[in-house]
Amino acid sequence: MIRSFVIAALVLLAGIALRAPAQAEVQSIYHGGTYVGSVIVEPGQIVQGDLTVIAGDATVEGVVDGDVDVIGGSLYERPGAQITGQVNTIGGDVASTLVPWSSPPPYRADTAGDYRVLWRIAADVIAILFFLIFPVRARVALERLERHPGLCATVGLLGWVAVVPLAILLLCTILLIPFILVEAAFVFGAVFLGKAALALLVGRRLCEIVAPSQTPAPFLALLVGLVLITAAELVPALGIIVTAFVALIGLGATILAFVGESTITPNLAPPAPRPPLSGPPMPVG
């Protein structure tokens, strides 16, 4: 069960990754066949034979004398289009099939690429790289998220509030100006490392719900969590809140990952028992 779910998540990621760059280039075709990427049949053009498009859109403004099959994309029939055969679409907009709210407007300009999904995929890849490079720190951040979610959010909020004042403070001291780049690099890495930890937590929880008797591999749980977070980030309006929350709690979890657990929750030793009273027996009146 976990393997099937993870495979579906990988297919979604791969499909979106193939789908996003395909929107940037559209090739004009003059005969039937199989094409990878978005294609267009120009007005007045007659395409003889079946047309198959993989990982791209098919925009028809002319005539297609045959069937049109679109796999991992969408078919757009403009005014004046004519298709003599059957039309079949599978996974139309791979992203919009499993994540319906991520699809662009149906009649967008052919030359206008929608890079919103592509940017999300790039951010997920960066989070995976940080997880692979700093696995121990990512696991510590995951532990902080599990034990102290509220504290992670609070520390993250304080961290974001302190970014600009700290940069200004460093700017006022000429010798410390180079540390502004260090601060920017730390915040950048902390957000993506925290996102990896949050995705690992979400993915592991979901896998445990789907298959309680199995323990998912960390990397697979990470991929599943990234798919879920990316899908939530693509929701209009709500996606902005999700992205802000990920950046907030991710920064806080990473900051706490550099703090010892004993500092966060100090072990308060119980008071030492009082020694028993000793001495000669007291007379009873």
pTM: 0.56
pLDDT score, position 272: 57
Contacts of 23 (CB under 8 A, 6+ apart): 38, 56, 57, 104, 113, 114
pLDDT in tens, 152-165: 999 999 999 999 89
pLDDT in tens, 94-142: 444 444 444 444 444 433 344 677 888 899 999 999 999 999 999 999 9
Q: What residue ranges do the domains of the chain occupy?
A: 26-106, 118-262
pLDDT score, position 64: 93
110/127 Cα distance (integer angstroms) = 31
HEC-encoded secondary structure of the chain: CHHHHHHHHHHHHHHHHHHHHHCCCEEECCCCEEEECEEEECCCCEEECCEEEECCCEEECCEEECCEEEECCCEEECCCCEECCCEEEECCCHHHHHCHHHCCCCCCCCCCCCCHHHHHHHHHHHHHHHHHHCHHHHHHHHHHHHHCHHHHHHHHHHHHHHHHHHHHHHHHCHHHCCHHHHHHHHHHHHHHHHHHHHHHHHHHHHHHHHCCCCCCCHHHHHHHHHHHHHHHHCCCCHHHHHHHHHHHHHHHHHHHHCCCHHHHCCCCCCCCCCCCCCCCCCCCC
Instruction: Report, as an integer, the average pLDDT of 275-279.
Output: 52
pLDDT score, position 102: 44
pLDDT in tens, 42-81: 998 899 999 998 878 889 999 999 999 888 778 888 888 9
Residue type, 189: G
Longest Cα–Cα distance of the chain, Å, equals 122
pLDDT score, position 174: 80
Q: Which phi and psi angles does 88 have, rounded to 5°?
A: -135, 130
- Residues 106 and 89: beta-carbon distance below 8 Å: no
Mean of the per-residue pLDDT values of the chain: 79
pLDDT in tens, 236-266: 778 889 999 999 999 999 999 998 877 777 6
Distances (CA, A) of 34 to 6, 49, 51, 268: 29, 10, 6, 70
92/82 Cα distance (integer angstroms) = 20
pLDDT score, position 92: 54
pLDDT score, position 91: 57
pLDDT score, position 138: 92
Q: Which phi and psi angles does 82 have, rounded to 5°?
A: -145, 125
Contacts of 58 (CB under 8 A, 6+ apart): 38, 39, 40, 41, 51, 68, 70, 73, 74, 75, 76
Tokens matching residue 34: 């199989």
pLDDT score, position 266: 64
